[in-house]
Chain A
Amino acid sequence: MAGKLKRRDFLKGGALAAGTWLALPGMAGKLGTGEHTGADGEPRPYRNSWYPFTGHPDADTCWSLSTGPDGRIYAAACAESVPGGVVKVARYNEEKDTLDYLFALDEMVEDPSDSGRATQCKIHYSFAPSMADGVLYMATHLSGPPIDQPAYSPWRSWHDPERCFRGSALLAFDTRKDEVLWWDTMIPKEGCRCLLHDEERHLLYALSYPRDHFIIYDTRTRARRDAGRIGSINAQALFLDRKHRVWTTDDYGHLVRYDPETDRLERSPFVLPHNPQFQTGWHSVFYDVAAAPDGESVFAVTWIAHPRLMRVWPNEGPWPRVEDLGPATQDRDSSIPVDTFIDHCGGLVFAGDGQLYYVASRWRDPVYQPKLESGHPREGVVWRLNPKTLERTEVAILEHPTHPAQYVSRGAVDHNGNLFFGVVGTKPVGIFQVHLPASRRKENAHLPIRIWG
C-alpha cells in the first residue's frame, strides 16, 4: 500500500500526523492565525484562524458546516474511518473564540457506536435551518464501519440486520434552547448525502446513499416519501428556485429537478459544463451551490477533477440558462485520473460584500505549478469572485498548522460577516475562520440564509 492513496487513506492521519498533533500546544482553541504575505510581499488582509476538533479526537473529516438560524456557525466533527466512529456537532463560540461541542449524535438518536451496525458517523452537507422556530435540522450519513469491522459497504450489508446502517437520523435541534426537540429515522438503511429545507412548505428534501433516491420529508407529519431513483452518483447539493422546485444533477451532468406541481423528477437534455478534453459530463454532478444575493441565480461547482464553476438561472426558460465560468483549479497532466481529494473546489459562500467566496485546491506540479507559496505540496486557496464582472481574486491561503488544507467541504458566513470553512484532510481536521476586512463585513451577512447543506 506504500505510496498509493486509496480514497479513505487520505482521511487518515499516520503516526507522524498524530504525533505532531499531540505535540502541539494549546489545541483547545484556535490555532495558526495566518498572517501570510502575498506574492507581492505585503501582508494578506484576509487573516485566518484554525479550530481543530480537539473535543472529538476521532474526528477525521468535516463534511458539514453551515450557518444556523441564529447566525452562528455549526460544524460536523465526523469520524468515518474509525471503526465505531460517531459524529459530534460543534458550534463556534465567538465570545471564547473556540468550538463548543453540543452532543454526540449517536447518543441523541439511540444508535450507539458499539452496536455492531454501521455508525452514525457523519453529517454530510445536511444542516438545514428553520428560521421561524430557530430549529437547525440535521441528517446523518453512513460509511463509518461497525466497531469491529475495518470498513463498511452498504451494498454488502443491506440485508444484514446485524450490520446494516439503521438509517439516516433526522434531528431537530432548537438553537434557542440548545436542546434536541425530536428525531426520526428519515431514510431507513441509507445515508443522507445532502439536505434542503423548503420552510414555507414544511418540507425537507434529501438524496439517499447508496441508492440515490430523492426523498421528501414533511416536518409537520414526519412522513417520508420516496420520489424515485436518480442514478448511481449522488449529487452533493440540492437547491430551490422561486417556484419551489428542487434542483440537482444526475450521473451524466444533466440538471434534474423535482417539480411539486407535477410530482415528477425531470431531467434536462443538456449537459453541464465540463472539461472537453478528457470529460464527457459523466460525474459532473453538483458539489456545492450558493445562491446569488439577488435570488435569481446560483453559482455551482462540480464534483469531478478540474471542477467547473458555473452560474445557473433556474427561473428562466424551460431549462435554465447555464453560464460556464471555467475550471476552478489548475491545469494538469490529463493522462492521470487525479486524486479526488487533491483536485477540488468547495465552500461556496456569498459574504456580506455581495461577493462569492470559495476554496479551490492548488498543488505542486512540475509542469503546471512548480512552486507553492505556502511551502506545502498542496494548499487551499480562498478566492473571491465578483458576480457582476466575474473577476476572480485570490485573497487567502488556508493556514493549517501541520498539513495542507486543500479540501474544503463547505463554507458559511456568520452573523458578524466572517467566513468559515470545513476541512477534510489529514488529521487533525477542523474548521477555518477567514476574517474579512472590516469594509467587507456587515451584520447579519448570513441573511437571506442558505437553506441547503
Chain B
Amino acid sequence: MSEKPRKRYDMNSPEARAVVDEIVHGTFMKEGTMAAFPTCFPGASTPIPADESHITALAVSGDGMIYGGTSGRAAHLFVGIFHGVTGIVFDRGAIEGADHCAAVCCGKTRFAACVNGAGGGRVITGELQGLPFDLIQEWGFGRPPLRDLGPVNGERIVHAVADGGGSIVGITTGALFTVDVDTGTIAIVGPVAGAGRIAVGSRGRVFGQDGPGDLWRYDTASRTITRHALKLPEGVWDKSPMTWARDNRSGLLYTADGQGRLFALDEDRGFSPVLGLTALAPVGPMAVTHDGRVFGFCGSEMARMFCYNPAARAVSDLGVAVSVLERRRYGYLFGDAVVGRDGQIVFGEDDDLGHLWLYFPRIERLKD
C-alpha cells in the first residue's frame, strides 16, 4: 500500500509530450553552455588516469591560463590553455607521495600547489607555462621540473590563496603559513582553526572560519592574525566546509551556509543579509564572472548549478551539468571554480576521469 493513492498519468493527454521533453531535457543546463575538456591534448596525448584526476584545485594566471591540481590515487598538477591556437590540458606531472591537492595559486613567474600525502602537506612550485606554438599545426612540450619546497609543519594543508603580492597564504589543520613563491620560503605565522576554504577580502586581508560562529582575519602587511575577528551571520556554519567566491572587480566575497543561504562580505560593510537560497545544500565551488553574476554548484552526489544575479537579487537553478561540446559527459561533482580570461567560468570536476568544464554564461538580452 502506498501512502496516498495516485492516479495513473494519461499518456494521451495533450501536454504529455511537452512534459516529457521538460523532464528529459529541462533537467540539464537551463541556460548557458558547458564544454567538458579532458585532461589532455585531445588526439595528441592521453588524459590523466581516471582515478588520479579528481580536480580539487584551480587558479588562473595573469595571462589567462588555468592551473590546477588533482586528487585520488595520485595528485597531478596541470595547466589548461584555451585561448589563441591552443586547446590543451597539459599534465605538468604527478607529485610523488601526494594523493590530494588542496590549492593551487599563481604568482608572476611561478605557480604553487599545496599537496597532501602520508607525510602531511607540502608546497610544490613550478614555472608558469609559456604559450606553445600553433596546436593545430605542430608543437612540442617538455615537462619543466617542479620544485618541492617540503613540508609545512607536518599537518595536512587545508587551503591556500595568493595574496596578490607574490606570496601565498595557507592554512593547515592548525596553523596559518605563508610561502614566498619565488624564493620558496615557508613561514608559520601562527595558530588558526584550519577548516574550510579561505579568501582574500576587499581590502586584501585573508579570512577563514574560526569555529562555528566567527571568522579569523589575517593582515598580510603586518603579518598578524586576529582570531574571532568577524561574526558570521546567523546561519548553519558547522555542517559543511566554508566556501567562497570573490568578485575581483569589487573584492566582494560570497559565501553560503550549510543550508544554501548566500551572503556577501565586504570588509568595510560586513556581511549582507541573506541574498538568496540555493536549491540544494551544501554549496560547493563558485566563482564570480565579469558582470558580477555568481555561478556555482550545490548539492551532494549529483550537484546542480545555480546562478546568483546581484542585479536581479535572485538565485536561479540552472540544472545538472552536461556537456555536448568537445566531450559528451554528465557532470556530477565539482571541486573548484575560477573565472577565465573572458568571463567564462572554469569548473574542476572532482570525479573519476575529471574534466575541466568551461561554462559560457548566457548573454542577457538588452531590454527595449
**Contact surface of A with B, Cβ cutoff 8 Å:** 1, 81-84, 112, 114-116, 145-153, 155-156, 158-159, 189, 210-211, 228-232, 250-251, 264-265, 267, 269, 282
- What are 23 A-B interface contacts by the 8 Å CB criterion? A84-B8, A112-B1, A115-B3, A146-B6, A147-B7, A147-B8, A148-B6, A149-B9, A151-B19, A153-B27, A155-B320, A156-B23, A156-B26, A156-B27, A158-B301, A159-B280, A159-B302, A228-B51, A229-B332, A229-B353, A230-B352, A232-B330, A282-B328
In the complex, whether B210 has a CB less than 8 A from a CB of chain A is no
Given A83-B11, A147-B8, A150-B19, check contact A155 B352 (CB 8 Å).
no
Given A83-B9, A265-B51, A267-B50, check contact A158 B302 (CB 8 Å).
yes
The smallest beta-carbon distance between B309 and chain A, in angstroms, is 23
Find out whether the CB atom of B2 lies under 8 angstroms from the CB atom of A114: yes
> A221 to B2, alpha carbons, bound, how many Å?
30
> A153 to B28, alpha carbons, bound, how many Å?
10
> A258 to B155, alpha carbons, bound, how many Å?
34
**Residues of the A chain whose Cβ atoms lie less than 8 Å from the Cβ of B17:** 1
In the complex, whether B85 has a CB less than 8 A from a CB of chain A is no
**Residues of the B chain whose Cβ atoms lie less than 8 Å from the Cβ of A153:** 23-24, 27
The smallest beta-carbon distance between A5 and chain B, in angstroms, is 13
Find out whether the CB atom of A152 lies under 8 angstroms from the CB atom of B353: no
Number of B interface residues in the complex (CB < 8 A): 38
| CB-CB contacts below 8 Å: B103-150 with A | none
Name, among A146, A231, A250, the residue most crowded by chain B CB atoms within 10 Å (CB to CB): A231
The smallest beta-carbon distance between A121 and chain B, in angstroms, is 14
Chain A residue at minimal CB-CB distance from B72: A228
Find out whether the CB atom of B9 lies under 8 angstroms from the CB atom of A112: no
Find out whether the CB atom of B9 lies under 8 angstroms from the CB atom of A211: no
In the complex, whether B187 has a CB less than 8 A from a CB of chain A is no
Name, among B4, B11, B26, the residue most crowded by chain A CB atoms within 10 Å (CB to CB): B11
Find out whether the CB atom of A228 lies under 8 angstroms from the CB atom of B299: no
> A395 to B19, alpha carbons, bound, how many Å?
44
**Residues of the B chain whose Cβ atoms lie less than 8 Å from the Cβ of A1:** 17
Chain B residue at minimal CB-CB distance from A231: B353
**Residues of the A chain whose Cβ atoms lie less than 8 Å from the Cβ of B16:** 150
B67-85 near A? 1/0 per residue, CB < 8 Å: 0000001000000000000
| Known interface pairs A149-B19, A232-B329, A267-B49; 20 further A-B residue pairs with C-beta atoms within 8 A, sorted by A's residue number | A1-B17, A112-B1, A114-B6, A115-B2, A115-B3, A116-B6, A145-B9, A147-B6, A149-B9, A150-B16, A153-B23, A155-B302, A156-B26, A156-B27, A158-B302, A159-B299, A159-B302, A229-B352, A264-B73, A265-B352
**Residues of the B chain whose Cβ atoms lie less than 8 Å from the Cβ of A251:** 328-329
In the complex, whether B257 has a CB less than 8 A from a CB of chain A is no
From the candidates A150, A231, A232, name the one contacting B9 in the complex (CB within 8 A).
A150
The smallest beta-carbon distance between A419 and chain B, in angstroms, is 35
Find out whether the CB atom of B328 lies under 8 angstroms from the CB atom of A152: no
From the candidates A145, A155, A228, A264, name the one contacting B330 in the complex (CB within 8 A).
A155
> A391 to B330, alpha carbons, bound, how many Å?
41
In the complex, whether B32 has a CB less than 8 A from a CB of chain A is no
From the candidates A115, A152, A230, A250, name the one contacting B23 in the complex (CB within 8 A).
A152
| CB-CB contacts below 8 Å: B181-218 with A | none
**Residues of the B chain whose Cβ atoms lie less than 8 Å from the Cβ of A250:** 353
The smallest beta-carbon distance between A91 and chain B, in angstroms, is 28
**Residues of the A chain whose Cβ atoms lie less than 8 Å from the Cβ of B28:** 155
Closest 4 CB pairs of A and B: A156-B27, A229-B352, A83-B9, A151-B20
Find out whether the CB atom of A150 lies under 8 angstroms from the CB atom of B328: no
From the candidates B4, B46, B351, name the one contacting A229 in the complex (CB within 8 A).
B351
Chain B residue at minimal CB-CB distance from A115: B2
**Residues of the A chain whose Cβ atoms lie less than 8 Å from the Cβ of B353:** 229-231, 250
Find out whether the CB atom of A211 lies under 8 angstroms from the CB atom of B332: yes
The smallest beta-carbon distance between B262 and chain A, in angstroms, is 18
Find out whether the CB atom of B352 lies under 8 angstroms from the CB atom of A232: no
Find out whether the CB atom of B2 lies under 8 angstroms from the CB atom of A116: yes
Chain B residue at minimal CB-CB distance from A267: B50
Find out whether the CB atom of B73 lies under 8 angstroms from the CB atom of A148: no
| CB-CB contacts below 8 Å: B295-326 with A | 299, 301-302, 304, 320
**Residues of the B chain whose Cβ atoms lie less than 8 Å from the Cβ of A264:** 51, 73
From the candidates B1, B8, B46, B328, name the one contacting A148 in the complex (CB within 8 A).
B8
| CB-CB contacts below 8 Å: B330-365 with A | 330, 332, 351-353
**Residues of the A chain whose Cβ atoms lie less than 8 Å from the Cβ of B73:** 264
